[in-house]
Amino acid sequence: MSQRSFVAWARESGALIEVERPVDPHLELARVMAALDGRPVLFRALVGCGDWRAISGVCAGREHFAAALGCTVPDLVHRMAEALAHPTPPPVLDVGPCQEVVEARVDLTRMPIPRYHPDDGGRYVTAGVAVIKDANFGRNVSFHRLMLLDERRFCARIVEGRGTHTAMDTAEEDVPVAIAVGCPVQVLLAAAMSPPKGVDELGIAHALVPTPLVRCQTVDLEVPGEAELILEGRITHALAEEGPFPDLTGTMDVVRRQPVIEVDCVTHRRAPLFHALLPGGMEHKNLMGMPREPTIFDAVSQVCRCTGVYITPGGTSWLHAVVQIDKQHEEDGRRAIWAAFRGHSSLKHVVVVDMDVDLYDSADVEWAIATRFQADRDLVILTEQPGSSLDPSAAQILGQKARTAKMGLDATAPLGEDRQGYVRVGYESLDLTQYGLKDKV
Ligand SMILES: Cc1cc2nc3c(=O)[nH]c(=O)nc-3n(C[C@H](O)[C@H](O)[C@H](O)COP(=O)(O)O)c2cc1C
């Protein structure tokens, strides 16, 4: 689903908020985005930015992904797992909307690249999907935040060990790159996944929803034809200071020396939509956490019957998960805990619940912990584990994976006769219209 189709869907479903008043990309845009976090917002006019518009909150709700993929919210995990297992090569077309306009001269400063927070290192592109080709592994597609340096250059945050970093490490020359902004929803989802090296994220996107590509103008790369904006250029071996910038956790990430990207060509749609993604907001959270749910689901399914996985927003959508199982053996809860940690290596805390618990409802999960869990019997604690670089409480060691303790709570009820005392009492439903109360609830 292209971002324009998303806008049409959001408008029709009543979810879209449209801001008519011109908004300044310098700090004001982020403040409006933060105040409306969780909702899709179309900014119809931007101060000093010609016919550019901005969109935020494209991925801020799970129902947005469900609409894009044509499925229900609980089915998303299965659709992602299926696409991860069976990527399909996308077609490459001769023309695409993302090349409707080819800029005669590159001047990045004229674009509505926002400054999000007064303490930020600069203006940032936060929804840029970088396409590169690795000499050994082929195409890699990944998010990299980009700090604007000047008319033609960005400094990119490129996390060590990730696909883009590996490709740069083995290349002596500059690495050609195409950065797509305003990507179709399925491309955003696929770009946030970490499939095994050599698996093409655009193939995953195409397996989710048809995603035709077009060839770039100046680099030997293909990009999603329906993207709003394409920045073609090179990742150089020059370094500059990147940051500070807010991270997923809502805390400030530090300044690092990071690679400089030089942009040689800019193409875009007419009256382009600039996708602005609020760091630490719901869109960032969903894109980080959701793609780990199928990998946890897969790992848990290898040891017991897994029926659902939810990476919770309260756990920064990265560090906490709830795993739901159809318990068949007394050991299934513990097995699921170990497997969940294998399925997402940055996971820190996991709660395992039965099928009668709504894994999306934190009060229901807490109910299961309150009524089914005993700490001296059902708690698994692991020490000195590889952890997340995003967790400020983990031991961060430069150049190495962070070290952390991990905890798993088996909040499933026992099997057999003992289960009886754990079943929730329910009341029979009735028709409230008979009491004249239908409109009260
Ligand atoms: C919104 C968003 C922003 C991200 N920003 C960065 C970033 O600035 N640098 C980075 O290296 N990874 C970033 N990531 C993470 C990678 O895109 C993601 O983990 C990706 O799956 C890595 O894939 P790879 O291992 O195949 O390269 C971001 C992810 C999301 C969802």
* Tens digits of pLDDT across the chain (441 residues): 999 999 999 999 999 999 999 999 999 999 999 999 999 999 999 999 999 999 999 999 999 999 999 999 999 999 999 999 999 999 999 999 999 999 999 999 999 999 999 999 999 999 999 999 999 999 999 999 999 999 999 999 998 888 899 999 889 999 999 999 999 999 999 999 999 999 999 999 999 999 999 999 999 999 999 999 999 999 999 999 999 999 999 899 989 999 999 999 999 999 999 999 999 999 999 999 999 999 999 999 999 999 999 999 999 999 999 999 999 999 999 999 999 999 999 999 999 999 999 999 999 999 999 999 999 999 999 999 999 988 989 998 876 788 999 999 999 999 999 899 999 998 999 888 889 887 766
Cα separation, 380 vs 141, whole angstroms: 36
Ligand 1 centroid, distance to 180 Cα (angstroms)? 14
Q: Which ligand 1 atom lies nearest to the CA of residue 201?
A: 26
Nearest alpha carbon, ligand 1 atom 25 = 162
Does residue 344 line the site of ligand 1, with CB under 6 A? Answer: no
Any atom of ligand 1 within 6 Å of the Cβ of 166: no
Number of CB atoms found within 10 A of residue 417's CB: 7
Catalytic residues: 247
User: Strand ranges (DSSP E) for 117-217?
Assistant: 124-125, 129-134, 138-143, 146-148, 153-156, 175-181, 213-215
CA of 157 from ligand 1 middle (Å) equals 9
Q: Map residue 197 onto helix, strand or coil.
A: coil
Residue 346, ligand 1, Cβ within 6 A: no
Q: Which atom of ligand 1 is nearest to the CA of 277?
A: 1
Token pair listed for 206 = 């195409």
Residue at token pair 């009060």: 363
Residue 386 and residue 402 in contact, taking contact as beta carbons nearer than 8 Å: yes
pTM listed for this prediction: 0.92
* 316 pocket-lining for ligand 1 (C-beta < 6 Å): no
Residue among 80, 125, 142 whose CB has most ligand 1 atoms within 8 A, to mutate: 142
Ligand 1 binding pocket includes 131 (Cβ within 6 Å): no
State if residue 185 touches ligand 1 by the CB under 6 angstroms criterion: no
CA of residue 144 to ligand 1 center, whole Å:
6
CA angle, 317 as apex, 40 and 4 as ends, to 5°? Answer: 25
* Distance from chain centroid for Cα 83: 16
Counting from 1 in the atom list of ligand 1, the atom nearest the Cα of 159 is: 11
